[in-house]
Chain A
Amino acid sequence: MAIEMVKESSHLAEKTLASPCEHQAAIDGLRRSLQAALSGKNDIVEMVLACLLARGHLLFDDLPGLGKTTLAKAVARAVGGEFARVQCTPDLLPTDITGFNMFDQKSRAFEFRRGPVFSDVLLADEINRATPRTQSALFEAMAERQVTLDGQTHPLSQTFFVIATQNPVESHGAYPLPEAQLDRFAMKLRIGYPDRRSELEMLAANIGVVDGVRHEPEPVITPVQLCQLQEHVAKVALSAKVQEYLVDLGRATREHKEISLGLSPRGLISWQRIAQARAHLRGRDFVTPDDIQDVAGPVLEVRLAGDFDAAPRLVQEILAAVEVPVFR
């Protein structure tokens, strides 16, 4: 068990974003700092940003050493909140995540010790190695944004953002996440190997640095500003025909022969929100079918139970099954 908590004392003034220009500047700042942390993976950075702005949780399904932790840390620092990291193992207990009540000998009373969920960004590494009991404790926190212990409810941070990782090749001693739990994540991403040029750059940057290059970006926005951005994203407009398109896509997942469990209404709502975030990231105040199609892969892959390798093909089949609304 390794729990690490970083308390970030924000030096940014708690100012709010007033004009659209400031909105755009905040988003650009976030984008730049994440791109610096994960070079050569701009599309992944866009998805992470969309997930963050849509107030969804993120699941990385990838091999070790591809930069998952780096990215998660960069997100936490850029948002300027508290960062916590939990390395999941089979002996991790629910209270290790949520916190626990400890009897204080001096005050003769129980005192609540807050766990790592009381942070702004939580990185749950190798989440499929934790026992289902611990997993579900985390999922309650993710869904309800609160922790209930001994009848007492403790609210979490408003911008609570979970980045979980799981390792697809290690199946021994792993507790795969059930489909119902996977629904709590907004999207699943695979970072994949960087391209040749980026790898060369990385090697070059490490020459002469004893401890390896560490990106410690400065905070770009405050949690309050992030909240504002999230509120703004929620207001991005969808016309009726785009919503119909989204619903048709959802129904297509349920009617597809190879998919045993189609998209839930919660999944559909989450897809809409992420498409809104995507549209906002592109500087639009309305969603087009392009936004929906762009985020379809990460959104659907986390929810379509079935073969891991077949998921991208299934997503393409579903997109092909529904006609894009143009003139109707």
Chain B
Amino acid sequence: MNVNLQILKKLHIAAMPVTTIAAQEFRSYFDSLMAYILLVLFLGFSGTFTWIYGSDIFIYGQASLQVFFSVAYVTLFLLIPALTMKSIAEELRTGTIEMLLTKPITCRQIVMGKYLAVMMLISTALALTLPYYITVAHLGNVDHGAVVCGYIGLLFMSSAYAGIGLFASSVTSNQIISFLTALAIGLLFHVAFGIVGHQFGGIVGQFCLGLDMNTHFDSMARGVIDSKDIVYFASITFIGLFAAGKSLESKIA
């Protein structure tokens, strides 16, 4: 019991700087209007294409959120790099990183804090789309399991892109470069691996298809949570965050 308390205490101490940074970062999104712009864009895009325009829900005529999930999938792909591009790059540019790193904090904790803040904002954005779900549930018989899986899928996919974005933000002090780098790496997973995978057969094709995000996201959006998909998203997140931490450490070596 005593030992457990000790571990909890240690965990608490390790988490404290992370939550401090996450809270500050989350607040700064709202202070700088970033959060409002992102929310308006996200809800605007996904709302328009889900309900009003193009192959919307009424064309399908099914009480499902499939359409929303595929729209959100694309929207988040574009918005997350815009959200993460500032995270670390701005600290490097203004030199405030020096203030942070001369406090009892490690590079990893800074990256974790920033990651949590991004995920909190994405979760807020997704939570604000719950009215879609309620509306659709009134229109017909919704597969509740599939909806829950779809939301979890969006969160996992956002987490992967947040990892990539934070890495891109940690390698440069220029926000534009950071944004474009994140978008370029993102495009690999979003489009390129899929195309290559479908073109080639054999081992190479299989391998590329395995790296393609669509494959993993689609199965989740249809309501199947496979450990394979979770491992996929978790590894991209982990590698992104780990690389971001390392690149930040190299900045002060």
Q: Do A and B come from one complex?
A: no
B residues within 8 Å of A by Cβ? none
